[in-house]
Structure 1
Amino acid sequence: MPGTPRQSGAGHNQDVDDSGNGLRADTLVATVRGVLPSLTPAAQTVARLILEDPATVARSTITELSAASGTSEATIVRTARLLGFAGYPQLRLALAAAAAQPDRLVPGDLAPDDPLSEVIQKVARAESEAINDTVAQLTSERLGLVVEAIVGARRIDAYGVGASGLVAEDVAQKLLRIGLSSHAFQDAHLALTSAVLLKPGDVAIGISTSGETPDVIEPLTRAREAGATTVAITNNPRSSIAELAEHVLISAGRETEFRPGALASRISQLLVVDCVFVGVAQRTFDSSQEALASTRRAVKEFTRRTSPARRQP
């Protein structure tokens, strides 16, 4: 409901470790990547060094990191605190723990002269890391709240543009196949038209890698004002869309020269969508199975009637 606090524990502290001392080691780098656009320019400089070479940062004193980043020691301490740590020593410890998983800290960026055999390996690695990082941040509690909302919804909207729009289409198509009234909108005007007509109990899902896409934020805002339950799928837990939504599911994906942020995140967004879909299908097993059987039968009959072999005299 409008004005109610988010229920899914989203926000800058959602991935703290069990001690409450900053981000968990297994998701630290991915989360820093996601919140990067929300940081101040000086903090971004420090964060980029963490992303480019986290193992070296883990070995650096605050004085050494200050010299390497061209920022003050006070900025480094503030950056560590923005990331949920008490100070720089705690950030170094988390980075050292992440460095104990060396396979996850190798940059592996694509280069213009990479042979295709290496392209295959690097793309596969990036996809795998995106999935692993998303799984590490996707808790059953957050997922369960979204599943519960969708199961009880009269109607489900999904908003997204560009690559995230394709993900919106995917979630709407999946839910439609199991008999739920779901629609995807990539056009902001149509999204707004639908959003203002939602009612309490309906669900609106906003999908944005950056979490700052106006064409997604505005309809999600209107949906919330109309009383709908709002869900965000985003890389950035500190973004505008994350602050707006009642439930936030974090995806992950690393941007490179050949893989812009939206493309890098699509595989992880689709993973989140698949988990939501399976959870809903489990909760509505009998009706979902009946709907899937009916849709398969309709498509099969249509294909048989319209196949070239059937049309020959």
Structure 2
Amino acid sequence: MTDVSRAERERSVDVDVIAALRGALPGLSAAETKVAERILADPTLVVDLAITDLARLCGTSLSTVARFAQTLGFSGYRELRVEFARAVAVAQAEHERFGLDDTLIDLRDDIETVAAKIGAHEIGAIEQTVLAVDFAMVEHVAAAIARAPRIQLFGHGASSLTAQDMQFKLARIGYAATHSGDPHVAVAGAALLVEGDVAIAISHSGETAETRRSAEVARAAGALTVALTNAPNSPLDRVCEVALHTKAKEAPLRMAAMSSRIAQLALLDVLFVRVVQHRGESVNEPLRATRRAVIGR
């Protein structure tokens, strides 16, 4: 058992209810999914409509809408409505900051508009992630890493790049940190972890089968398993003992993982700095040695 329980994690505040709704979609009933899809198409509906009006619009019952709110972790429709009002206000503020009516990238956008929209998305991802950080959870993981003999990072595709970045940072301060984008190598390494080691599994969706499998093997071997995902209660979230959550929203027109990667890097930077603080002056010499080694290269 970890010092920070899963129940405590699930009580943490979700700053972006719209992102939470997207993450919850796979677990909703058919009737609840109708409500969710209608709301995602126009989030202002929750702000503008009473529960009876929303139920009528979605072609469902009052009890379904009430149950839908409770599935998302709210006491009822009134609390859900307050959170959506806040989320809509935040989105409007982001749009105004960049002079945009809409942050969705369109194929017809010019370069200036593309740059502004990407800036809005990525700044928003960092802001929402940092605002929603479960500091007790980050502190718990940082302390575990600070005393861990070995750290292994799992991630594939775009998440592999995030894992490599964290692996490099930890290696520079003297940790035996490893990462492989090959799922066979990753799961073999996971099997060799022991109690006291830490395994960090990274997946924006929380559904990458290879990452989830490595986390399962690492946990069975005795390592502390940490999920880094944008989807609370995802398959990866359920496999790991501890979870750190990002709050990134990917635009429908996306050529690669952009906001998700930025949010992952931001959260791991917070974690890394806390690890450095736990280690204190002992990190100075490794940092100097690695800096000297690359000077002039």
TM-score norm. by structure 1 comes to: 0.85
Secondary structure of 1:295's counterpart equals helix
Cα separation, 2, equivalents of 1:198 and 1:161: 19
Structure 1 residue identity aligned to 2:47: A
Inter-CA distance 12–41: structure 2 relative to 1 (3 Å threshold): farther
CA drift of 1:298 comes to 1.1
Q: CA separation in 2, counterparts of 1:299 and 1:104?
A: 40
The TM-score, its normalising length taken from structure 2, stands at 0.90
Q: Which whole-Å deviations, capped at 9, do the CAs of 1:115-137 have from their partners, x for residues lacking one?
A: 11111111100001111111121
Partner of 1:183: 178
- The alignment status of 1:266 with 2:261, answered yes or no, reads yes
Q: CA deviation at 1:277?
A: 1.0
Within the candidate set 15, 33, 37, 2:26 is matched to 37
- CA–CA distance in structure 1, aligned partners of residues 250 and 159 of structure 2: 15
CA distance in 2 between counterparts of 1:108 and 1:237 reads 25
Residue number among 160, 163, 170 corresponding to 1:165 in the alignment: 160
- Tell me how far 1:281 sits from its aligned partner: 1.1
Aligned positions, number = 291
Q: Which of 68, 84, 89 is residue 73 of structure 2 equivalent to? A: 84
Task: Give distance in 2, aligned partners of 1:39 and 1:74.
Answer: 14
Deviation at 1:80, TM superposition (A): 0.5
- 1:55-85 deviation line (CA, Å, top 9, x unaligned): 2321112232224334443322221011111
Does residue 228 of structure 1 match 2:217? Answer: no
Identity of aligned residues (%): 39
Q: 1:130 to 1:51 in 2, by over 3 A?
A: farther
Query: 1:108: Cα distance to partner?
Result: 1.6
Asked whether the equivalents of residues 15 and 27 of structure 1 are also in contact (C-alpha less than 8 Å), the reply is no
Whole-angstrom distance in 1 between the partners of 2:74 and 2:196: 38
Deviation of 1:5 after TM superposition, in Å, equals 6.0
TM alignment of 1:1-313, pairs within 5 A: 4=1, 7=4, 9=6, 13-16=10-13, 23=14, 26-101=15-90, 102-104=92-94, 108-259=103-254, 262-300=257-295, 303=297
CA contact (8 A) 1:131 1:267 kept: yes
Structure-2 separation of matches of 1:60 and 1:175: 50
Any unmatched runs of 5+ in structure 1? Answer: 17-22, 304-313
Mapped to 2, the partners of 1:154 and 1:10 lie a distance apart of 28
In 2, Cα distance between equivalents of 1:159 and 1:251: 17
In structure 2, C-alpha distance between the alignment counterparts of 1:274 and 1:110, rounded to whole Å: 28
| Residue 110 to residue 64, structure 1, CA distance change in 2 (3 Å) | same
Structure-2 separation of matches of 1:250 and 1:46: 25
The 1:43/1:136 distance shift into structure 2, 3 A limit, reads farther
Higher alpha-carbon deviation: 189-198 or 94-103: 94-103
| Structure 2 SS opposite 1:232 | strand
**Greater Rg, structure 1 or structure 2?**
1
The one-letter code matched in structure 2 to 1:94 is E
Rounded to whole Å, the distance in 2 between the matches of 1:69 and 1:13 is 28
**How far has the Cα of 1:260 moved from its partner?**
6.4
Query: Given that residues 45 and 54 in structure 2 are in contact (C-alpha distance below 8 angstroms), is that contact kept between their aligned partners in structure 1?
Result: no
Q: What CA distance in whole angstroms lies between the structure 2 residues aligned with 1:41 and 1:259?
A: 28
Q: Match for residue 310 of structure 1?
A: none
Write out per-residue CA displacement over residues 128-164 of structure 1, whole angstroms, 9 at most, x where no aligned residue: 1111111121122111001001001000000011101
Deviation string 1:149-196 (CA, Å, 9 cap, x unpaired) is 100100000001110111111111110011000011222111111011
Structure 2: gaps of 5 or more residues: 96-100
Aligned alpha-carbon RMSD (Å): 2.2
Paired residue type of 1:7: V
- Report how far residue 9 of structure 1 moved: 4.2
- Distance, in Å, in 2 between the alignment partners of 1:153 and 1:38 is 35
CA drift at 1:6? 7.5
What SS does the aligned partner of 2:258 have?
helix
Letter in 2 for 1:208: S
Does the 8 Å CA contact 2:9/2:134 hold for their aligned counterparts? no
